[in-house]
C-alpha cells in the first residue's frame, strides 16, 4: 500500500504516471476515494522525483523537499502538488505527519546510499512506504491500532521486494539497499555486486544471499496479508491484489535463480492466471 528510487511493478492495477509502487485509482477502490488517492500518489511521485531525478545538486534537492514540507503547513501553499492535495487532506482529516515522513525518506535518499543493517533498512521503509498505507487506511476509515502493524508489514515488505527486484538497477545508480553486516557475514561485499554487474550475472554465493533476503520479505508480506479481512470489503480486495503482486514478483525472482543482474523480474500479461490464483487464495 512502497516507494524507492527504483520503482516496482508488482501490483496488477493502475498507477499515476510512473509511480508504480502502489496501486492508484484502481477499479477496486470506490470512485469517491480515487481523487484523494491520486492526489496522494502525485505528491509522493513529485517528491520522489525531486530526490532522484535530474542533475540538481544534493543541497538543491534538500531545499526543494524542505519547501514542500513548508507548503504542507502553509495556509496557502504555492506548490501546485500540495495545493491539489490540500482539499483531500481537509475532506478526509488526513494528518500532515505521514506526508512529512515520506519527505524525510526522500531526504535520506539524497544523502544515504548504504545501509549497515536490516534494522536501518526497515527504518527507511517505515518512512518511505508505511505512511502511504496509513493514508489509504485513513481514507477508508480503517486506520486503527489493530490495522497499524499488518499495514506496515505489507508496505515494508513491498519496499523490500522492490529493492530485490531492482538490485542491479540501484547498484548502477550508486545505491545498495542490502544490509552490509549480513553481506559481510555471508562472506560477500561490494566487490561481489560490482562483479555481478560487470558479468551480467550474480555468483552462486550472491544468489543464495538474495534468496535469503527474498524469503524474509515473503514472510513479512504474508504476515501482513490477513489485514485484508479486517478492513472494508473493497479495500480488502485491493489489498489482496497488492499482496498477490508482491508474491508474484518474488516468484519471478525465484524463477530467475534469484539473480536480478541477469534479468529484472517483472510482471506481464502471462502472469494473469498466477495473479488470479494468488488473489483468490485465502488470507492466512
Give how far Cα 237 sits from Cα of 23, 178, 223, 284, Å: 12, 31, 17, 14
Q: Which of 158-167, 240-249, 268-277 has the highest mean pLDDT?
A: 158-167
- The residue ranking higher by pLDDT, 277 or 280, is 277
- The residue ranking higher by pLDDT, 78 or 126, is 126
115 has a pLDDT exceeding 60: yes
269 has a pLDDT exceeding 80: no
End-to-end CA distance of the chain: 18
Residue 14 covered by a domain: no
Residue 8 covered by a domain: no
The pLDDT value given to residue 95: 97
Grid cell for residue 234: 473493497
Residue 226 covered by a domain: yes
pTM for this prediction: 0.88
Residue 198 covered by a domain: yes
Q: What is the spatial distance between Cα 90 and Cα 1, in angstroms, rounded to a whole number?
A: 21
Handedness of CA 88, 102, 75, 41 (dihedral sign): negative
Report pLDDT digits (tens) over 211-251.
999 999 999 999 999 999 999 988 998 888 889 989 999 99
- The residue ranking higher by pLDDT, 6 or 160, is 160
Number of domains the chain contains: 1
Residue 20 covered by a domain: no
209 has a pLDDT exceeding 50: yes
Q: Around Cβ 189, how many Cβ atoms within 10 Å?
A: 11
Mean pLDDT over 155-168 rounds to 96
Measured N-to-C along each axis, helices 233-255 and 204-224 cross at an angle, to the nearest 10 degrees, of 170
The pLDDT value given to residue 283: 63
Nearest Cα residue to 41 out of 54, 22, 27: 22
Residues 6+ apart with CB under 8 A from 218: 157, 247, 250
Residues 6+ apart with CB under 8 A from 57: none
H-run or E-run covering 21 = none
For position 228, which CATH number holds?
1.10.600.10
Residue 77 covered by a domain: yes
143 has a pLDDT exceeding 90: yes
1 has a pLDDT exceeding 90: no
- Arithmetic mean of pLDDT over the chain: 88
The pLDDT value given to residue 271: 66
152 has a pLDDT exceeding 60: yes
Give how far Cα 123 sits from Cα of 60, 115, 120, 225, 257, Å: 25, 10, 5, 21, 28
107 has a pLDDT exceeding 60: yes
The pLDDT value given to residue 78: 87
Residue 23 covered by a domain: no
165 has a pLDDT exceeding 70: yes
- The residue ranking higher by pLDDT, 207 or 14, is 207
Q: Which domain holds residue 94?
A: 31-280
Report pLDDT digits (tens) over 46-67.
999 999 888 899 999 999 999 9
Residue 192 covered by a domain: yes
Amino acid at each position: 500500500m512502497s516507494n524507492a528510487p527504483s520503482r516496482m511493478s508488482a501490483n496488477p492495477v493502475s498507477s499515476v504516471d510512473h509511480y508504480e509502487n502502489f496501486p492508484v485509482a484502481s477499479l477496486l477502490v470506490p470512485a469517491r476515494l480515487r481523487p484523494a488517492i491520486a492526489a496522494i500518489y502525485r505528491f509522493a511521485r513529485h517528491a520522489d522525483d525531486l530526490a532522484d531525478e535530474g542533475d540538481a545538486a544534493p543541497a538543491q534537492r534538500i531545499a526543494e523537499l524542505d519547501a514542500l514540507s513548508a507548503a504542507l503547513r502553509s495556509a496557502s501553499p504555492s506548490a501546485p502538488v500540495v495545493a491539489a492535495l490540500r482539499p483531500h487532506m481537509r475532506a478526509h482529516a488526513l494528518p500532515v505527519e505521514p506526508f512529512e515522513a515520506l519527505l524525510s525518506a526522500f531526504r535520506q535518499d539524497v544523502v544515504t546510499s548504504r545501509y549497515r543493517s536490516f534494522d536501518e533498512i526497515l527504518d527507511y521503509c517505515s518512512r518511505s512506504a508505511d505512511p502511504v498505507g496509513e493514508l489509504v487506511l485513513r481514507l477508508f476509515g480503517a486506520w486503527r491500532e489493530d490495522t497499524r502493524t499488518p499495514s506496515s508489514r505489507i508496505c515494508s515488505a513491498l519496499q523490500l521486494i522492490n529493492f530485490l527486484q531492482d538490485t542491479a538497477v540501484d547498484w548502477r545508480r550508486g545505491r545498495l539497499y542490502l544490509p552490509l553486516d549480513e553481506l559481510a557475514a555471508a562472506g560477500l561485499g561490494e566487490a561481489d555486486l560490482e562483479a555481478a554487474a560487470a558479468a551480467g550475472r550474480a555468483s552462486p554465493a550472491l544468489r543464495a544471499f538474495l534468496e535469503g533476503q527474498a524469503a524474509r520479505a515473503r514472510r513479512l508480506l504474508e504476515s501482513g496479508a490477513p489485514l485484508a479481512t479486517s478492513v472494508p470489503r473493497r479495500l480488502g480486495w485491493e489489498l489482496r491484489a497488492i499482496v498477490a503482486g508482491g508474491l508474484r514478483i518474488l516468484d519471478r525472482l525465484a524463477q530467475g535463480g534469484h539473480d536480478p543482474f541477469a534479468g529484472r523480474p517483472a510482471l506481464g500479461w502471462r502472469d494473469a492466471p498466477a495473479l488470479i490464483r494468488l488473489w483468490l487464495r485465502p488470507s492466512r
